[in-house]
Amino acid sequence: MAATVIAQGITIEGDLTADDEVVVQGTLRGKLSSRDRVSIDAGALVEADVTGASLSIGGQVTGNVTASDRVDLVAGGKLVGDVKAARLTIADGASFKGNVDMDV
Amino acid sequence: MAKPTSRADSSTASAATEAVLGRGAALRGRVQGHGNVRVEGKLEGDVAIDGCFAVAQGGEVVADVQAGSLDVDGALEGDVTVSGAVVVRAGARVVGVVRGATVSVEEGASFSGRIEAEFDMPPELGGKAAR
């Protein structure tokens, strides 16, 4: 069980910061940052810049994403925005538009 | 088997998918939508949901709250309007105006503000007929 869950049906507009894992199943507009893992599940809608240790994107994200470890764009995920992470995977069936900065 | 009434559906769905703002999490902004929300961290802003809004022990909320019901065991400051029951538990610190259908305050809670509980006046006092 994740520490913070934005459940389906819930909309958050604002600035969310967390020390622990964050799971988004609903809607988030604004800014999201966590020191831990961030999961954006299928069905979620995120219009925000997202920062985390590792990011898994299965929903729809519009905004720039930054991860200290990795970003995984899983099947069904949709990302419009720039990625800054040392490691990035884009699964078959995911869509992505933006720039990638792997900090080389 | 069970009658698939939308009411039952929404209550089971919201019970299964409770939104949680965990310990160590802080939110500045607006929370709205369907279902229940539990705050263990910090929330500053505005809340408008149709389910239960709970402030757990250690949770700190400074917000105007509109919800289906309210359960406070942490700190809550703001105007609260609830269509159902309000429970202020022993560990709670509440500052503000609380409106609800029923309001209960446990021993040990600290409350500073106003409680407005809706109830029908008995007919002999000239109010609406009791339910």
Residues 6+ apart with CB under 8 A from B105: B88, B111, B115
Q: Is A22 part of any domain? A: yes
pLDDT at B50: 94
Q: Which residue of B has its CA nearest to A10?
A: B33
User: How many domains is chain A built from?
Assistant: 1
Distance CA B103, CA B110 (A): 14
> CA of A27, closest CA in chain B: separation in Å?
9
Q: Is A101 part of any domain? A: no
Taking an 8 Å cut-off on Cβ atoms, the answer to whether B18 and A9 are in contact is no
A45 forms beta bridges with A27, A60
Domain that holds residue A66: 4-92
- CB contact residues (below 8 A), chain A span 29-58, against chain B: 30
Domain boundaries, chain B: 6-125
Taking an 8 Å cut-off on Cβ atoms, the answer to whether A14 and B45 are in contact is yes
Average pLDDT in chain B: 85
Q: Is A97 part of any domain? A: no
Q: Is A67 part of any domain? A: yes
pLDDT digits (tens, 9 = 90+) for A18-52: 999 999 999 999 999 999 999 999 999 999 999 99
| Pairing, β A95-97 against β A83-84 | unpaired
User: Which chain B residues are closer than 8 Å to A17 by Cβ?
Assistant: 25-27
For chain A, give the percent of residues with pLDDT over 90.
Answer: 95
Distance CA B120, CA B23 (A): 40
Q: Is A98 part of any domain? A: no
Distance CA A93, CA B32 (A): 31
pLDDT digits (tens, 9 = 90+) for B83-114: 999 999 999 999 999 999 989 999 999 999 99
User: Which chain B residues are closer than 8 Å to A12 by Cβ?
Assistant: 27, 29-31
Taking an 8 Å cut-off on Cβ atoms, the answer to whether A3 and B25 are in contact is yes
